[in-house]
């Protein structure tokens, strides 16, 4: 019996996708072998790759002047790829909003290749909120402006898209495909797959065409967006199984009603959990109300001596991976697309019972 998985990543995958992959594992498309055993350049796999790209374009309404890339190295690889690809044409400055752990990692990497201007930070209140748009101002001379719309660890989500003069770059690893986005507002969108797209081992990037010729000299070939775009994301052997599974997730999302349907579900799931937290004297959210994430919900117990018991009992109840990130402690429930409403209902019921017994 499958349990309810609240892991922040690698995260839950849709059960129908896993079942299809299971059926096809040994004999894919009647070829007598697995999709993992065929050439990435075979007609059969090229069709998988092309359909995955088109389905992602359809889901996010990606304009024709954007390349859709399937890349290795996860979002962390893109922390390096972004400055490598964008700091070579004029300005060597990048601007950032520092909203938590993942923004910090992107900032640290960008500083290796150019000047970084942090225009706003929420460090003053332990990264418990998203800095307001009127609290900062871009200098106007940066090569790009980077932000993290959702901080997976801290559970902070931006309620707006920054308006800047330079290309806007967003790490959407934990929110992509959870709601409609206006791709045209961004120069670059990148995301690790292991939350709302598919398994770990692959990342997607949407790159506006005019940004493909701005790289630093001697950019590593494996990090070049231009090389990847010209090769159809196949300059070297790609992670074919992760690409195949991501494509199945895209098809599943279309069958569920696309990102509009996912947005409604995300709102309903997160509201149920936040409503419980706000009504409780035993559990609470450390995130300011206007910045709470729909995808990642951290929470703490009034008595942290009960943390270990909570985790033991929740796992026994079939509620997996509720331990908070090691850097912040507490608990965290990740509510990605593949986590059903029934999982949240079960979690809230368990928390209410635990409170009744332990408070």
State the CB neighbour count (10 A cutoff) for residue 164: 21
Q: Give, as one character, the DSSP assignment of residue 90.
A: S
> Which listed residue (55, 84, 171, 269) is catalytic?
171
Does residue 303 carry a catalytic annotation?
no
Give alpha helix (H) positions in the chain: 15-24, 43-60, 74-86, 101-110, 225-230, 240-256, 258-279, 307-316, 341-358
Does residue 171 carry a catalytic annotation?
yes
By the 10 Å C-beta count (0-12 exposed, 13-18 middle, 19+ buried), 2 is classed as exposed
User: Contact at 8 Å (CB) between 99 and 150?
Assistant: no
Does residue 307 carry a catalytic annotation?
no
- Which 3 state secondary structure label does DSSP give 203? strand
> Which listed residue (28, 55, 67, 195) is catalytic?
195
Residue-by-residue DSSP string for 91-136: --EEEEEE-SHHHHHHHHHHTTTSEEEEEEE-GGGTT-SPPPGGG-
CA-CA distances (angstroms) from residue 305 to 121, 301, 302, 352, 355?
31, 9, 9, 18, 14
> Which listed residue (28, 55, 67, 102) is catalytic?
102
Active-site amino acid positions: 102, 171, 195
């Amino acid at each position: 019996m499958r349990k309810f998985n609240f892991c922040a990543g690698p995260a839950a995958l849709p059960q129908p996708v896993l079942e299809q992959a299971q059926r096809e594992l040994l004999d894919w498309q009647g070829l007598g072998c697995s999709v993992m055993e065929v050439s990435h350049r075979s007609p059969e796999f090229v069709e998988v790759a092309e359909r995955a790209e088109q389905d992602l374009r359809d889901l996010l309404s990606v304009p024709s002047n954007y390349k859709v890339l399937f890349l290795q190295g996860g979002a962390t690889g893109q922390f390096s790829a972004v400055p490598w690809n964008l700091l070579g044409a004029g300005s060597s400055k990048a601007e950032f909003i520092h909203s938590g752990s993942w923004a910090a990692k992107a900032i640290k990497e960008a500083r290796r290749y150019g000047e970084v201007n942090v225009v706003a930070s929420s460090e003053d209140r332990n990264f418990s909120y998203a800095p307001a748009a009127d609290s900062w101002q871009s200098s106007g001379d940066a090569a790009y402006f980077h932000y993290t719309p959702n901080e997976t660890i801290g559970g902070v989500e931006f309620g707006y898209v920054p308006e800047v003069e330079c290309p806007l770059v967003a790490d959407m690893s934990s929110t992509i495909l959870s709601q409609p986005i206006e791709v045209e507002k961004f120069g670059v969108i990148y995301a690790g797959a292991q939350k709302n797209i598919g398994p770990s081992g692959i990342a997607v990037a949407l790159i506006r065409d005019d940004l493909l010729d701005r790289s630093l000299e001697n950019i590593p070939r494996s990090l070049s967006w231009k090389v990847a775009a010209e090769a159809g994301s196949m300059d070297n052997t790609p992670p074919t199984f992760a690409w195949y599974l991501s494509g199945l997730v895209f098809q599943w999302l279309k069958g569920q009603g696309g990102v509009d349907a996912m947005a409604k579900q995300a709102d309903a799931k997160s509201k149920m959990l936040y409503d419980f937290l706000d009504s409780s004297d035993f559990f609470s959210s450390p995130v300011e109300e206007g910045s709470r994430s729909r995808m990642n919900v951290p929470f703490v117990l009034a008595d942290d001596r009960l943390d270990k018991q909570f985790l033991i009992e929740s796992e026994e109840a079939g509620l997996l991976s509720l331990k908070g990130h090691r850097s912040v402690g507490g608990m965290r429930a990740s509510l990605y697309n593949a986590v059903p409403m029934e999982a949240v209902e079960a979690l809230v019921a368990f928390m209410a019972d635990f409170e009744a017994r332990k408070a």
